[in-house]
């Protein structure tokens, strides 16, 4: 495969230093390390090795990789292997893409408490899906899912949300059979949304009362007004549920449906 004309590393080397100076105080140490690793990846800065042909003495110098999990050059193979492993997990059933999103008021808190808020986001969204799916009025089955965290939106603004890939059915409560969902429908969004909101806010309050949240800058003294804003924010959009196919598809809750994947030979 030929090398692209422009790589992320090229942009970081040309403009990274100026961007870091312009954003002093807003970049974490981990983010600085990632940028440094990408800038130095496969350059003399990381050393390398020499390969020489014993016949013609042709010599090639190969510089070492940074192996940082965020580096697009180092993680290409790992990404393909991950996708292949997930495809091997697919069942011959319809899949749905579900997205759970946080309002701006909570996204601001998440920016300063990433580990805590993201853990709550994963836990509350998963509990929501499992609880509603187990209800006989809806699906009446135990379901599984794959969830992936996205922290930025398409406009490259801070926008924490979770994408889920959910099979269109699950195992019956007694474990004796597969319960298939209705065509192009897995779970009702109007039922998912309030449960997710209630679970998330309850876990957020518990984390705050346990002293697990830290506040800095404009949020240094969180008032009751901030917590009311979190609960009343219009940013609690409905979860989206859409059909998904062999590729992962999206409920705040939003859901969508995709074509049924073919069984993959072992």
pLDDT digits (tens, 9 = 90+) for 22-44: 888 778 888 899 999 999 998 88
- Classify residue 156 as left (phi > 0), alpha (psi -120 to 50) or beta: left
Tell me the β-bridge partners of 99: 163, 240
CA distance 254 to 74: 33
Burial of 82 (0-12, 13-18, 19+ CB in 10 A): exposed
90 touches 246 (CB < 8 A): yes
In this predicted structure, what is the pLDDT of residue 216? 75
* pLDDT recorded at residue 169: 93
Q: Which residues of 187-218 are buried (b: 16+ CB within 10 A; e: fewer)?
A: bbbebbbebbbebbbebbeebbeeeebeeeee
Q: How many whole angstroms separate alpha carbon 224 and alpha carbon 230?
A: 10
Give 18's Cβ-side CA count (13 Å radius): 4
CA-to-CA dists, residue 156 to 121, 179, 233, 254, angstroms: 20, 39, 21, 20
Q: In what order do the strands lie in the sheet with 178-180?
A: 141-142, 169-172, 178-180
Q: pLDDT of 98-129, one tens digit each? A: 999 988 888 888 888 999 999 999 999 999 99
More confident site: 140 or 215: 140
Could you tell me which residues are beta bridge partners of residue 180? Answer: 169
Q: pLDDT tens, 165-221?
A: 999 999 999 999 999 988 888 888 889 999 999 999 999 989 988 989 888 776 665
Q: Categorize the per-residue pLDDT at 233 as very low, low, confident or very high, splitting at 50, 70 and 90.
A: low
């Amino acid at each position: 495969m030929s090398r692209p004309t422009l790589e992320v590393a090229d942009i970081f080397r040309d403009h990274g230093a100026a961007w870091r100076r312009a954003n002093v105080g807003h970049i974490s140490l981990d983010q600085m390390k990632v940028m440094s690793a990408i800038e130095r990846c496969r350059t003399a800065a990381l050393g390398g090795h020499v390969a020489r042909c014993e016949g013609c003495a042709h010599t090639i110098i190969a510089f070492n990789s940074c192996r940082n999990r965020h580096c697009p050059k180092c993680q290409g193979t790992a990404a393909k292997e991950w996708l292949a492993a997930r495809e091997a997990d697919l069942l011959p059933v319809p899949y749905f893409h579900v997205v759970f999103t946080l309002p701006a008021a909570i996204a601001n808190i998440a920016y300063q408490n990433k580990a805590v808020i993201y853990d709550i986001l994963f836990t509350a969204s998963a509990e929501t899906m499992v609880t509603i799916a187990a209800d006989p009025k809806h699906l009446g089955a135990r379901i599984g899912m794959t969830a992936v965290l996205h922290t930025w939106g398409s406009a490259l603004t801070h926008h924490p949300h979770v994408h889920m890939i959910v099979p269109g059915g699950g195992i019956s409560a007694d474990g004796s059979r597969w319960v298939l969902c209705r065509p192009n429908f897995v779970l009702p969004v109007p039922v998912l949304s309030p449960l997710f909101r209630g679970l998330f806010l309850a876990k957020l309050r518990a984390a705050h009362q346990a002293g697990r949240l830290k506040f800095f800058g404009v949020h240094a003294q969180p008032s009751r007004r901030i917590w009311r804003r979190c609960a009343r924010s219009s940013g609690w959009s409905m979860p989206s549920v859409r059909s998904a196919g062999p590729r992962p598809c999206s409920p705040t809750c939003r859901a969508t449906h995709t074509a049924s994947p073919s069984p993959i030979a072992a």
